[in-house]
Structure 1
């Protein structure tokens, strides 16, 4: 009985997420990617502390996938110039650190990456209203619409 209810709730959550993605602006999609990575890191930390190695590993892998296949892929290095190049290097650093955190079972590394992502998410969210009301020329440097495949 409970398994059926849980599957129904999960299906509803997936529909809600898919609807949100379909109707979101490119800017909002980036915020959603940050949110997904942050949730994955909180899950990883909880499971690392609890000694649940498989779930910890899966959560870290999910965070790395979001960073590499969502955030990094969405960078437009031509339009974004130095900022996009620096973000690319930072995302690469975060992915490598998460790999290390997984190998060493190091909560401090998870906290480090979580802090970096939270700061970036906060900055990105803060410019959200400005981007939505900006003229087309000012939004040319925005990232491409990210691919959420595998996220």
Structure 2
């Protein structure tokens, strides 16, 4: 199921972002999606720990929409192997989130945190290199 960037961004906006995105370029927008995703990931950790499973489900849904937005931002033609690798990592994170949700297992959350933090740092590095 392929979602568009607007769906992912809408999910992120609902995690309490202000109007920064209105004037953001794609690089900043993707960084905002990473920020929103990682913020929501911390909420999921708390929801699982505190056994707030209804809230956990809402957070997982938001993160899945953000992943869809991140995936939609990839240019698989121009990005080649790098873009395809990122797509696979997003897919892996989505599967891990589903497992975390089904099993209430924080090990899956930790795995997603590691992948997404590394991708976020790489994306920040791309911005610095372009500047």
TM over 0.5: yes
Structure 2 residue 67 is matched with structure 1 residue 67: yes
Map of 2:42 onto structure 1: 42
Q: Give the distance between the partners of 2:78 and 2:70, measured in 1 at CA.
A: 16
Larger Rg: 1
Q: In the comparison of the two structures, how many residue pairs are matched? A: 117
What is the RMSD computed on CA atoms of the aligned residues?
1.5
Q: Match of 1:127? A: 126
Matched, 1:56 2:56: yes
> How far, CA to CA, are the matches of 1:48 and 1:118 in structure 2?
20
Distance 2:77 2:122 in 1: 21
Instruction: State the TM-score, normalizing by the size of structure 1.
Output: 0.73
Distance 2:113 2:60 in 1: 11
Query: What are the residue-to-residue correspondences of 1:84-95 with 2, within 5 Å?
Result: 84-95=83-94
1:130 deviates by 2.2
Q: Which runs of 4+ in 1 moved over 4 A?
A: none
Give the match's secondary structure for 1:119.
Answer: helix
